[in-house]
Amino acid sequence: MKEKKYDNFKNRFTRNLFWGILGVLLLTSGINVGMIVFIQEISGPGIQTSGPGILYTVITLIYWFLASFFIVWKIRDKMYKIYEIPLMKISKTINMVACGDFKVRVDSINPPEKQDYLDNMAKDLNHMIEELNGIETLRTDFISVVSHELKTPLAIIQNYARMLQESDLSEEERLRYVNAVSATCERLTFLVSNILKLNKLENQHIFTKVMPYDLGEAIRMSILGFETVWCDKNINLEIDIEDGIITDTDNELLSLVWNNFISNAIKFTPEGGKIHVSLKKTEGKTGKSPLIEFAVSDCGPGMDDFTRKHVFEKFFQGDNTNSSHGNGLGLALAARVATICNARIGVQSELGKGSRFFFQFSS
């Protein structure tokens, strides 16, 4: 896409306005009266003319014509410098952004003490360009990471499939290769499923209201789904779930939060460690609905400031030692659910002291 040319636009912005101003000035400057006097002087009885009278009238007419044109020229020059030039710069910048250039910026038009709405427009435009640049970077990174995440398991499957074609394999080796292919397929399926869920959440705006249900019971069922895993790691699971908390928020959406919080806690908690799961209702501020808070605490390695800041971003994995057990989409899904439900999601963590993930929303 080629950049548009704006040179032909510079004289169009307010041309009709200036012609209108000129007409008003001419009508209100006494020229109409001067024209009447001039016509009377030259078309009086017997078409006799008075030299001094005509000269005076002509001088008056010329004076007001020149004064009117001067005033209009000054207004035109001021508006061109103060408004047209900045607006042309903004237009060119917008066109460059539309062509894919996210590095361009609009400079401040006036000094700080004299800034007006055009300066605010330039600031908003610069902010918008920064956001678009971030989105474009995220899109590029997303494609790159997804390509890598898909390519790695496919390569593994391809290698094991080639090895399975060998005729001198023992039954034990064949079974080991088949199990490896099956595990890799499960990982690939999990990745694609999470990508589809995230895409659905990011493009879905209307959710069907469900019948009120017991939130505590839904979370208990979610915990039971991980029973085999936390039992294998001999994890001490402490459950503090308040009874009788009812909600009509979409259970399918909220289950994404419960499952991700619990699975992450199990993954990062060492054998024989402890996990605390809580659900409670707190009184909201005056005039506001009570808040429901779900939280999961673990005794894992914790997170540094950088990891804590980016942990809810797509494909971010702060601990590479566990990267083979996930794809960095679980917490991004939970964060998207928080946005949809007008909820608050966050994490409290310190290195070596474990992490606490919480999810708060109105009942």
Q: Which residue has the higher pLDDT, 219 or 47?
A: 219
Q: What is the mean pLDDT of residues 153-167?
A: 82
- Residue numbers of the domain that contains 165: 132-203
Does 219 share its domain with 183? no
In a domain, 106, yes or no: no
Local structure of 148: helix, strand or coil:
helix
Residue 92: pLDDT over 60: yes
70-79, 103-112, 216-225, 326-335: which has the minimum mean pLDDT? 326-335
Residue 81: pLDDT over 60: yes
**In degrees, to the nearest 5, what angle opens at C-alpha 22 toward C-alphas 20 and 25?**
110
In a domain, 117, yes or no: no
Mean pLDDT, the chain, whole residue set: 76
Convert the pLDDT of each residue in 240-270 to its tens digit: 999 888 888 777 778 888 888 988 899 899 9
- Burial of residue 78, with CB atoms counted within 10 A of its CB: 0-12 exposed, 13-18 middle, 19 or more buried: exposed
Does 259 share its domain with 348? yes
**For residues 219 and 277, is the Cβ–Cβ distance under 8 A?**
yes
Q: Give the pLDDT confidence score for residue 9 in this predicted structure.
A: 43
Does 142 share its domain with 222? no
In a domain, 114, yes or no: no
Does 248 share its domain with 324? yes
Does 46 share its domain with 163? no
Does 177 share its domain with 199? yes
Q: Which residue has the higher pLDDT, 207 or 298?
A: 298
Nearest CA-CA partner of 192 in 327, 331, 338: 327
CATH code of the domain covering residue 195? 1.10.287.130
Residue 297: pLDDT over 90: yes
In a domain, 50, yes or no: yes
Q: Give the pLDDT confidence score for residue 6 in this predicted structure.
A: 43
Q: What is the mean pLDDT of residues 45-64?
A: 61
Q: Give the pLDDT confidence score for residue 359 in this predicted structure.
A: 93
Q: Give the pLDDT confidence score for residue 36 in this predicted structure.
A: 60
Does 155 share its domain with 86? no
The alpha carbon of residue 71 and the mean position of all alpha carbons in its chain are separated, in whole angstroms, by 48
Does 230 share its domain with 299? yes
Q: What is the chain's Cα-based Rg? A: 37
182-191, 235-244, 268-277: which has the minimum mean pLDDT? 182-191
Does 187 share its domain with 64? no
Does 224 share its domain with 342? yes
- Overall domain count for the chain: 3
Does 25 share its domain with 143? no
Measure the N-to-C terminal CA separation of the chain; round to a whole number of Å.
Answer: 50
Q: Give the pLDDT confidence score for residue 274 in this predicted structure.
A: 92
CATH code of the domain covering residue 274? 3.30.565.10
> Rounded to two decimals, what is the model's pTM?
0.52
In a domain, 108, yes or no: no
Does 304 share its domain with 271? yes
Q: Give the pLDDT confidence score for residue 322 in this predicted structure.
A: 46
Residue 312: pLDDT over 70: yes
Domain end, chosen from 52, 86, 101, is at 101
